[in-house]
Structure 1
Amino acid sequence: MKILIILGIIAFIAFSVWMAKRNGVTAEYKSKEIKISTNPDEPKDFGYKMVWIAVKTDKKERIAEILELKNIQSSNWASGIESAYNDGIYITPMIGQWTLAVGMKLANGQLEDINKLEKILNKLSAEFGEAQSFGTHRVVEYHHWIKSINGKITRTYSYIGESGENIKVFGQLTEPEVGLNLINTFSKEAEAENYWEREDLVYADEEIVMRVAENWSINPTKLTERKDIKKELGLIGK
């Protein structure tokens, strides 16, 4: 009887993980009508439970074109970020040398989304020199960071903790990753039976995502602290 109970629990967990993957990490976000405002306002911090792209340019319209956004309209920060947490993509005013495209719809924790993001970043960086993407969602412990320079991906790291596996890992460690010994289920070390018992492994989390983002370009959780954000409206599209 105990064996049957254990098998039942294992089957339930496996089914739950499969459902989470099928539905994607954005399943909790429901599309709703957002009232778009163009009243000038101050920058809004974001980052947790979010996906964004950072591009080294001030050309918001061109970013929207490459992302193939539709129904584009001007928006302030408040309605832009609210839309990004629903079914829209918000392209921010320029932050230092960077412009961000923000929206949970950019990726939902599956390999096909990472591959699509890489293609978008390559197109952006081929035109503007450098483009990056970051994503984090604490509910299923989904995290990624990707960098493209001059049309080529130089680093990809993506991990989903709910299933305990990497989605994709590529390229050399960058400065903020050095010394972390991030889990890599594609590595030869992961083939060892005691791999999961190692105490030196580091599991990706939202704080590491922000640390990498801050080192590479912009930490969006600290926007309200910055003094180099252009005072203008952003763009919203879908």
Structure 2
Amino acid sequence: MAGVWAEIHVFRGRMYATGQWGFSAGVHVADGASDQVLGATVLEQLQQRSRPPLPIRSKEPNPWHAFCERVAGVPVRQYRPEKRVRALRTDEGWQVDRRPGDMDAPVRIVDPADGLAALGAAVRRELASMEPRWPTVRRVMIMTAATGQVVVMPNVDGYCVGPARVVEAAAALHDAVLGALGDAEPGGGPAFEAALTAAGLDPRLLHGGARIILDERSDGSVELIGSGVEGNAGTPARRWLGRVDALGEVCAAAEAMLRELPAQHLPPGTHTGASFGFKCCWLAVRGGSTDVVTAAVGLRGAREVGWDEGVDLAYDRQVFVSPPIAGWVFVAGNLLPFDGGAAAGLSARLGAEVQFFGTHRVAEYHEWALATGGRLLRRLRCDGSRGEFEQQGAPTPVEAELGIPAMSAEDWDVNEITVMRVAAAWSLDPNTLHLRESSAPTGLAGTVPG
């Protein structure tokens, strides 16, 4: 039974024992079952899980789906227990813990010689010590627009989908929220931008707005999580708890929260940038023009594109040269054929300050470089996949704040957020460009040899 485990769940006040999540069947543990029965049930689930899996083309029903629907009485996507404990057999004995949901949770060992009742008692104690985590069953997003309107949309599997309900004032939230809750079920609603367009709203009008996440939980509670935008950055979250059966009170609290949350909308019709940065490389050139930078980087097949299309192309094997924005021209591409070592040559060619940034969390690759007057002033590059860490020049103040000077090839801690922090201090965080006014609506996209 090594490498497998059984799980014991509490879902809507009832206890269930299953094999590993998503793979096996499960049973309801009767109310009042003894510790001996609970321990025996856990062992039975481990033995069920150790059987060979069904063939890929088997016509038998998926055991996990069957458990959720026939035993727990809900569709698979709605089975979200409030408590979840794992039990497995190791060389030390029976191990009971809260993993994999909490990988830092302590491990409790039960001596097998004490019998199955001891295992059942250990599982019961672990469950009793846990605070319930009521899962979200439906989610709705409430967002402000630059027009002064409020947009309410269902959120399914982490994505806002249609229909988009646009209300003229936060005081009219109730009906829109009630409708969005009804639509917050799987079913293939219109995608975010298409839904906004169908409602007659430009998606850019939401940039810089305040927003509230409305989560309905499985116990009937509702949590509002509100955040705004200030200084081109998100503000700390504000929270409020209520009940879905008191939706009028929930919507009144959301209205009050929207009044308090800061927003940084630009006037309707303002040309803005588009955000990028993660899993990408880019140059930031101080001053200059799109045409001059395009010539310096050797862009071929250049064609005029808007910000949104340009960023999409930058993530699709092309390069986008932006119009000037807040005093900087950006050259972005996830396959940009430059690295930090090229910053000095580009700086000499352009007669301007040039910065290079690159990051990709999967490869653990992160890099930044600063050059001016044809001289490389600072460069740091690390590649976790190859075990490389190197730097040149004196660390800048933001790097000192991030603890970079104390890092070495044997001990370093740099990630994509570190890269964005350095970019924000040296030039602009590219993730905030949708909040800034652009000098023009279009830049140039093409390819760069090499």
Q: Could you say whether these structures have the same fold, taking a TM-score greater than 0.5 normalized by the shorter chain as the test?
A: yes
Assess if the C-alpha contact under 8 Å between 2:289 and 2:323 holds in 1: no
Q: Deviations over 1:146-196 (max 9, x none)?
A: 000111000010101223322x411110111114145332xxxx4xxxxxx
1:86 alignment counterpart? 316
**Does structure 1 conserve the Cα–Cα contact (< 8 Å) formed by 2:320 and 2:333?**
yes
Question: Residue 42 of structure 1: CA displacement?
Answer: 4.2
Percentage identity across paired residues of the two chains: 30
Structure 1 counterpart of 2:420? 210
2:284 corresponds, among 40, 54, 78, to 54
Hey, what does 2:443 align to over in structure 1? 234
1:147 paired with 2:147, answer: no
Structure-2 residue corresponding to 1:175: 397
What whole-Å deviation, never above 9, does each CA across 1:4-41 have from its counterpart, x for those lacking one?
A: xxxxxxxxxxxxxxxxxxxxxxxxxxxxxxxxxxxx97
Query: What is the letter of the counterpart of residue 105 of structure 1?
Result: L
Q: Distance in 1 between matches of 2:286 and 2:393?
A: 21
Deviations 1:95-124, CA, capped at 9 Å, x for gaps: 1111000001225xxxxx53xx423x2233
> 1:75, 1:169 → 2: CA distance?
36
CA distance in 2, matches of 1:232, 1:58: 17
Give the deviation of 1:230 after TM superposition: 1.2
Question: Which residue pairs with 2:356 in the alignment?
Answer: 133
What residue in structure 1 maps to residue 387 of structure 2?
A: 164
Separation of aligned partners in 1, 2:345 and 2:376: 10
Residue 225 (structure 1) aligned with residue 432 (structure 2): no
1:68 deviates by: 1.3
Question: 3-state SS of the aligned residue for 2:433?
Answer: helix
Match of 1:184 among 394, 401, 408: 408
Give the deviation of 1:144 after TM superposition. 0.3
- Give the C-alpha shift of residue 202 in structure 1: 4.2
CA shift for structure 1 position 53: 0.1
Rg comparison, structure with higher value = 2
Query: Any idea what SS the aligned residue of 1:222 has?
Result: helix
The 5-angstrom pairing of residues 88-107 of structure 1 reads: 88-107=318-337
Choose 67-76 or 218-227, whichever is displaced more. 218-227
Higher relative contact order (Cα pairs below 8 Å, separated by 6+ residues): 1
CA contact (8 A) 2:366 2:416 kept: yes
- TM-score under structure 2 length normalisation: 0.37
User: Does the 8 A contact of 1:169 with 1:184 survive in 2?
Assistant: no
Amino acid at match of 1:71: G
* 1:43 to 2:260 alignment: no
Shift of 1:58: 3.2
Give 5+ residue unaligned stretches, structure 1.
1-39, 108-112, 191-200
- Mapped to 1, the partners of 2:444 and 2:351 lie a distance apart of 19
Q: For residues 441 and 419 of structure 2, what CA distance do their matches in structure 1 show?
A: 27
Work out whether residues 134 and 146 of structure 1, in 8 Å CA contact, stay in contact via their aligned partners in 2. Answer: yes
Aligned to 2:300, what secondary structure does the other structure show?
coil
Q: Contact conserved, 1:66 with 1:124, CA < 8 A, in 2?
A: yes
152 and 44 in structure 1: CA distance in 2 versus 1, 3 angstrom threshold: same
Q: Does structure 1 retain, via aligned residues, the 8 Å contact 2:272–2:441?
A: no
TM-score under structure 1 normalisation? 0.68
Q: Distance in 2 between matches of 1:129 and 1:80?
A: 23
Name the SS for the 1:82 alignment partner. Answer: helix
Residues 163/183 of structure 1: CA separation in 2 closer, same or farther (3 Å cut): farther
Question: Which of the two has greater helix per residue?
Answer: 1
Residue 178 of structure 1 aligns to a residue whose secondary structure is helix
The amino acid of 2:369's aligned partner reads I
Q: 2: CA distance between counterparts of 1:222 and 1:76? A: 17
Which residue number in structure 1 is paired with residue 34 of structure 2? none
Aligned to 2:395, the other structure's residue is in SS state coil
Structure 2: give runs of 5+ residues left out of the alignment: 1-269
C-alpha deviations, 1:75-134, integer Å up to 9, x for none? 101210111001111011111111000001225xxxxx53xx423x22332233300000
Asked whether the equivalents of residues 143 and 158 of structure 1 are also in contact (C-alpha less than 8 Å), the reply is: yes
The runs of at least 4 aligned residues of structure 1 exceeding 4 Å deviation read none
